[in-house]
Amino acid sequence: MSSPEFTQSTALLKGKTALVTGASRGFGRAIAAALWSHGASVIGVARNGEQLESLRLELGEGFLGVVGNVCDAEVASTIIHQYCPEILVLNAGATPRALPLQDQTWASFSQNWNVDTQHVFNWTKEALRLPLAPGSVVIALSSGAAIMGSPLSGGYAGAKATIRFISQYAAGESKREDLAIRFVALLPQITSATDLGAAGSAAYAEREGVDLKTFLSRFEPLLTPKVVGEVVATLCEIDEEDREIALAYMLSGAGVREIP
Ligand X SMILES: NC(=O)c1ccc[n+]([C@@H]2O[C@H](COP(=O)([O-])OP(=O)(O)OC[C@H]3O[C@@H](n4cnc5c(N)ncnc54)[C@H](OP(=O)(O)O)[C@@H]3O)[C@@H](O)[C@H]2O)c1
Give min distance, CB of 223 to ligand X, in A. 7
Q: Which is nearer to ligand X, 180 or 199 (CB)?
A: 199
252 binds ligand X (CB under 6 A): no
Contact 98, 203 (CB under 8 A): yes
Pairing of strands 137-141, 87-90: parallel
For 68-94, b/e burial (b = at least 16 CB within 10 A) is bebbeeebbbebbeebebbbbbbbbbb
Q: Which of 37, 150, 162, 194 binds ligand X (CB under 6 A)?
A: 194
Tell me which stretch binds ligand X (CB under 6 A): 41-49, 173-181, 206-214, 239-247.
41-49
- Reported as half-sphere exposure (CB side, CA atoms, 13 A), residue 99 has a value of 12
Q: Which is nearer to ligand X, 104 or 153 (CB)?
A: 153
* Subset of 53-112 contacting ligand X (CB under 6 A): 69-71, 91-95
Sign of CA dihedral 72, 176, 35, 228: positive
Give min distance, CB of 11 to ligand X, in A. 26
- Other CB atoms closer than 10 Å to residue 168's CB: what's the count? 15
197 binds ligand X (CB under 6 A): yes
Give min distance, CB of 146 to ligand X, in A. 9
Give min distance, CB of 15 to ligand X, in A. 26
Tell me the backbone φ, ψ of residue 54, rounded to 5 degrees.
-65, -35
Q: Which of 195, 208, 211, 220 binds ligand X (CB under 6 A)?
A: 195
Tell me which stretch binds ligand X (CB under 6 A): 20-28, 101-109, 129-137, 211-219.
20-28
196 binds ligand X (CB under 6 A): yes
What are the Cα distances from residue 182, in Å, to 109, 133, 138, 177, 239?
31, 11, 6, 12, 10
Quickly list DSSP for 43-74: EEEES-HHHHHHHHHHH-TTEEEEE--TT-HH
Q: Which is nearer to ligand X, 141 or 179 (CB)?
A: 141
Considering just the CA atoms, what is the radius of gyration of the chain in Å? 18
* Subset of 140-179 contacting ligand X (CB under 6 A): 141, 143-144
Which residue number has the CB closest to ligand X? 26
Q: Return residues touching ligand X (CB under 6 A).
A: 21-22, 24-28, 46-48, 51, 69-71, 91-95, 115-116, 141, 143-144, 188, 190-191, 194-197
